[in-house]
Structure 1
Amino acid sequence: MSDYYTAKKVLITGGAQGIGRGMAQAFGKAGADVIIADNDKEAGDEAMAWFREQNLAVDFISCDVANEEQVERLMAEIGEKHGHLDVLINNAGIANPEVGPLQEMAMEVFDRVIAVNLRGPLLCTKYALPLLHKAGHPAVLNISSTRAFMSEPDTFPYSASKGGLEALTHALAVSLTSPRIRVNAIAPGWIEVGPWEKESQRYEPHHSQQDKEQHPVGRVGNPVDIAEAALFLCSDKAGFITGQSLTIDGGMTVKMIYT
């Protein structure tokens, strides 16, 4: 991306762990002033330490994206400290797809997943608009999932939230046009986040040959795969792309399986 992201203001929700942390590190290395919003302070402090060791610009703000008052305060604080936003990445989410049989599922579980995974991106985008409008070429990126298009049993809240996020992406893209804000999504497949978790939950991944062969590319994905695409989609090189969803799954969802 050459020097495109130098001093650009990039907010990544859920940026302290997993895919979010991978994206935060990538944007930081590209020269951006990264702002991580996360409700896990332990993970946030660890992410901050990594950035400081690398002499990269970072700010951590605690926030539950499902809470409207907290999101409003988040954007107000960013406005005071940074003045504007060039990129908003709506990544925060509850990534625990399986909830058991429908007849046993508590509706509070469904409501919380929808609140974080779908309502959260809408709230963040709403309250970020004044900051995005101050940028030259603002971009919003939603992190969806291939579970928006296909499911395993008993994944109702997660699949519904990510399907809604896909629809929200194109709805925002055709709505936020005055001034123009590009809005796109990435739908990750199987992404191994073990090494990108906070230290107390970090683990060494192990993938069987069968795990790898499920993917036409021959391996499981990792946060760097998502980060590289995010760098492109949020840059001026993707200036003619909006309202789109890019599936990044190593080809897994196009592989026909017979049993």
Structure 2
Amino acid sequence: MPDVPAITDYDARPLDGRVVLVTGGAQGIGRGIAQAVLGAGGRVLIGDLDREAGRACLDAWRVGERAAFVPLDVAREASVQRWVQAALERFGRIDGLVNNAGIAEPHRAPLASLALADWNRYLATNLTGTFLCSKHALPALAEAGGAIVNIASTRALQSEPDTEAYAASKGGMLAFTHALAVSAGPAVRVNAILPGWIAVDGWKKPGERRTPKLSRKDHAQHPAGRVGMPQDIGALAVYLLSPQSGFVTGQRFVVDGGMTVKMQYV
């Protein structure tokens, strides 16, 4: 009869030495994830359209060669190719990719008046961007035995009026997640995080940073007792990027303080 495995120490720095790429990593949830990666011992390349925000991150973090910023437009394949190549030239490997960049405003217009250009812009940024970054990072991720984390939204599961373009793009990310998990496995694991209400006001670039204005009622809508913060998403992202989640792939994880399971009556 074989022995039960012995107790092993918990790895408090599960991304030590690993390289993680984060799209839209200069502000909001993306910045929260990038900082969590650094806190877990990893190295990070953030990509963002906002150059000022990207430079501000590096100035604030002061982690030297462990972090870098390269401008990125996830909707343009040439930009994605340059970004991935920059990561390989700087760090020599890619262990993780977080597809976070996207249009954050879910409301656009009633469907009958929604412009095709607006519909296409949501899909190009939120969904096609996820495809392009995954496509070009996948060879290096497979070589490293890495992981992809797609940042979708609870709006892939529930909706408000006039959010069809946003919901469709985030719902597409869920389908893309489980499809790629099957195609890329076992070399690369692929999972999705679905954030709920996350207050990002304090995680923007210095000129736009504000203290979140949240009421008691805002917090009370959540069984967890509060609105979410970017570090709540970062904590799960670190787990999904690390070897600690080696038996987890093709899954979606709702991080919303319990809001989507609470019955709402008016």
TM-score by length of 1: 0.96
Partner of 2:41: 31
Instruction: Work out the number of aligned pairs and report it.
Output: 256
Distance in 2 separating the partners of 1:257 and 1:77: 47
One-letter code aligned to 1:217: A
Say which of 241, 246, 257 aligns to 2:248.
241
Q: Report matched runs for 1:153-192 at 5 Å.
A: 153-177=161-185, 180-192=187-199
Say which of 82, 87, 104 aligns to 1:95.
104
Partner of 1:229: 236
Taking a change above 3 Å as real, the CA distance of residues 56 and 19 of structure 1, as seen in their structure-2 partners, is: farther
One-letter code aligned to 1:51: W
1:217 equivalent in alignment to 2:224: yes
Secondary structure at 1:207's aligned position in 2? coil
Q: Structure 1 unaligned runs (5+)? A: none
Secondary structure at 1:142's aligned position in 2? strand
8 Å contact from structure 1 (residues 12, 35) kept in 2: yes
1:196 equivalent in alignment to 2:206: no
Stretch deviating more after TM superposition (202-211 or 59-68): 202-211
Q: Deviations over 1:81-102 (max 9, x none)?
A: 2221000000001101100222
Distance in 2 separating the partners of 1:9 and 1:128: 12
Partner of 2:20: 10
Cα distance, 1:56 vs structure 2: 6.7
Partner of 2:128: 119
8 Å contact from structure 1 (residues 63, 71) kept in 2: yes
Partner of 2:139: 130
1:65 equivalent in alignment to 2:90: no
Say which of 135, 154, 157 aligns to 1:149.
157
Q: Structure 2 unaligned runs (5+)? A: 1-10
Q: Deviations over 1:52-82 (max 9, x none)?
A: 1x55710101010010111111112222222
1:105 equivalent in alignment to 2:108: no
8 Å contact from structure 2 (residues 13, 39) kept in 1: no
* C-alpha RMSD of the superposition: 1.2
8 Å contact from structure 1 (residues 51, 57) kept in 2: no
One-letter code aligned to 1:220: V
Secondary structure at 1:195's aligned position in 2? helix
Distance in 2 separating the partners of 1:133 and 1:244: 19
TM-score by length of 2: 0.93
Percent identity of the aligned residues? 50
Distance in 2 separating the partners of 1:80 and 1:40: 22
8 Å contact from structure 1 (residues 14, 91) kept in 2: yes
Partner of 1:252: 259
After the TM superposition, which parts of structure 1 deviate over 6 Å for at least 4 consecutive aligned residues? none
Distance in 2 separating the partners of 1:72 and 1:180: 21
